[in-house]
Structure 1
Amino acid sequence: MDQAGGPRPRGARPRGPVTACSRRGSLLSGRRRTAVRRSRGGDPGSARRAAIRARARHRADGAIGEFRRALDIDPTLPDAGNSLGLALMERGDADEAIQTLRAVIARHPDHTAARLNLGTALMQKGDLAGATAEYRELTRRDPTNAEGFYDLGLALKQQDEFDEAEGALRTAMRIDTALPEAPYTLGVVLWQTGRADEAAALFENALARRPRYADAHYMLGTVFRQQGDLERAVAEFRETIRINPASPEAHTSLGQALQAQHDGEGSAAAFAEAERLRKRKADAQAAVFAVNAGLQRLKRDDLAAAIARFRDAVRLDPDNAQAHFQLALALRRSGALVESRRELQAAERLAPHLKAPDSQP
């Protein structure tokens, strides 16, 4: 959520057989898995299945290695290339992800998931023009693809091309009557351009498609508050908090609405909770920075400084599994085995997939 103006529409979502099996089917049918076997001593289907297991355990590096092995066996496999690009995106290697996805599209121009993921990677890099070009090409090739039109509308909105964004989002709504993000994002566009009444109807449309859509409840409450309907605004903000209690913006907006209703006690409680959540969020972000700083110290073989940074991360955010995990590994290197085991147990409680290297199968 954006404090100044409500929640931002969600970014384009990565697509691919690994993360969206329920929508796109399994990675490859049994027939294709057999067909793509090669006599060069490898089974790309097995490599992909191993990658899926690795991704399911959140081991991105292992997944990337398996997808690379599948492509070494057969570089023409589009789904393996798309999944590799997706895994690289998740690891933060945007440049290599873009290169990989472009290679898939060069061989298979109609590979919808790869082009959608390429657009997402370009948006994450801030190349909105490049992403827009990919979404335009996708919708030209597949004029019934609702997600393509939704992502096109989102990219255009972020460039303040509101008229074109509206057209693309309305097309997405028409094609897929179950996609809640399309009416929600269109509502944000109309709200930003001074059409609050129309925006409210679209937020209600989004909620009809997904009743537990916290952002839509929040924006509907924002419209009601601006229109002076404080009772309905308070109800929407409370519903936002019920769905997403960790949103400081929702607590702030609730406090403002209650303050306007002269509910001093209620507004004070809401503002206090908003401040607590903001501090917690800031501490969590600082913990991530501390973990990264610790990893950098390890690269310089400064074990003591790395341990200090990892301890800072655990102190800032006791629920950060990576902080406990990296501290455990560093302590083990230092010989503090008892404390290392304690930190590893804490990491595994928070994220069961995390295992010390010698305990992995």
Structure 2
Amino acid sequence: MRFPCSALIALAILSQSAFAADVGELIREGESKLQTGEIDAAVRVLEEAVAQDARSALARTRLGGALLLKQDQTAAIGQFREAISLDPRNAQAFIGMAVAEIHLGRYGLARAALVEAKDIDSAKGQEIDRLVVWLDSRGGAESGGGLTH
């Protein structure tokens, strides 16, 4: 039996919508587990969300945050980088990456990520500026000056 082309397209769209809803539900479940302190469980759920949709910048950002809470900075940075490659305007991923870099003592990289985050989301400017000043006092300024953005 042959399906009309429009029926196949409709089926594909419906399956993608259900798929997106499943990923969204997994992200919400992971966030809920993080709020109750179930970090390992949250990581597992968010890994499942990423496995279902590797192109979800939100799933990768949330997984990066969960990994940060688990104190796995290297894995967190990997997820934040993937999120940024999918969505270069993802200020949350840049901020998460900065926090991970700070924990690793890589203040210059943290500063650079924060400058990117501020360029994307100027509403966080004052908070970012305070952190950049702190980083600069620890050698995080790559050009020797303050925040130029």
TM-score in same-fold range (> 0.5): yes
Q: Percent identity?
A: 19
In the TM superposition, what is the alpha-carbon distance from 1:199 to its structure 2 partner?
1.1
Determine which of 210, 215, 218 is the counterpart of 2:127.
215
Equivalent residues in 2 for 1:327-346, closer than 5 Å: none
In the TM superposition, what is the alpha-carbon distance from 1:186 to its structure 2 partner?
0.2
For 1:227 and 1:116, locate their aligned partners in 2 and report how far apart those are by CA, in whole Å.
Answer: 37
Change (3 A) 1:189 1:228: closer
Equivalent residues in 2 for 1:215-254, closer than 5 Å: 215-227=127-139, 232=146
Where does structure 2 lack aligned partners over 5 or more consecutive residues?
1-17
Change (3 A) 1:159 1:228: closer
Equivalent residues in 2 for 1:183-332, closer than 5 Å: 183-213=94-124, 214-227=126-139, 232=146
For 1:228 and 1:198, locate their aligned partners in 2 and report how far apart those are by CA, in whole Å.
Answer: 8
Equivalent residues in 2 for 1:67-216, closer than 5 Å: 111-213=22-124, 214-216=126-128
For 2:35 and 2:99, locate their aligned partners in 1 and report how far apart those are by CA, in whole Å.
Answer: 20
In the TM superposition, what is the alpha-carbon distance from 1:232 to its structure 2 partner?
2.9
In the TM superposition, what is the alpha-carbon distance from 1:200 to its structure 2 partner?
0.9
Change (3 A) 1:109 1:212: closer
SS at match of 1:232: coil
> Do the aligned residues in 1 keep the contact of 2:46 with 2:62 (CA within 8 Å)?
yes
In the TM superposition, what is the alpha-carbon distance from 1:176 to its structure 2 partner?
0.6
Aligned structure 1 segments of 4 or more residues deviating by more than 6 angstroms: 228-231
SS at match of 2:146: helix
Change (3 A) 1:225 1:126: same
In the TM superposition, what is the alpha-carbon distance from 1:227 to its structure 2 partner?
2.8
For 2:106 and 2:96, locate their aligned partners in 1 and report how far apart those are by CA, in whole Å.
Answer: 13
Q: TM-score, normalised by structure 2?
A: 0.77
In the TM superposition, what is the alpha-carbon distance from 1:162 to its structure 2 partner?
1.2
For 1:224 and 1:157, locate their aligned partners in 2 and report how far apart those are by CA, in whole Å.
Answer: 23
For 1:217 and 1:112, locate their aligned partners in 2 and report how far apart those are by CA, in whole Å.
Answer: 34
SS at match of 2:122: coil
Q: Match for 1:232: what amino acid?
A: G
The corresponding residue for 1:50 is none
The corresponding residue for 2:6 is none
Change (3 A) 1:109 1:224: closer
> Do the aligned residues in 2 keep the contact of 1:110 with 1:141 (CA within 8 Å)?
no
- The number of residue pairs the alignment matches comes to 129
Q: Match for 2:60: what amino acid?
A: F
Q: Deviations over 1:102-156 (max 9, x none)?
A: xxxxx97952222111111100000011111111001111010001000000000
Q: TM-score, normalised by structure 1?
A: 0.33
The corresponding residue for 1:245 is none
SS at match of 1:226: coil
Q: Match for 1:223: what amino acid?
A: L
In the TM superposition, what is the alpha-carbon distance from 1:201 to its structure 2 partner?
0.8
> Bigger relative contact order, structure 1 or 2, given CA contacts below 8 A and separation 6+?
2
For 1:149 and 1:127, locate their aligned partners in 2 and report how far apart those are by CA, in whole Å.
Answer: 18
RMSD: 2.6
Change (3 A) 1:121 1:114: same
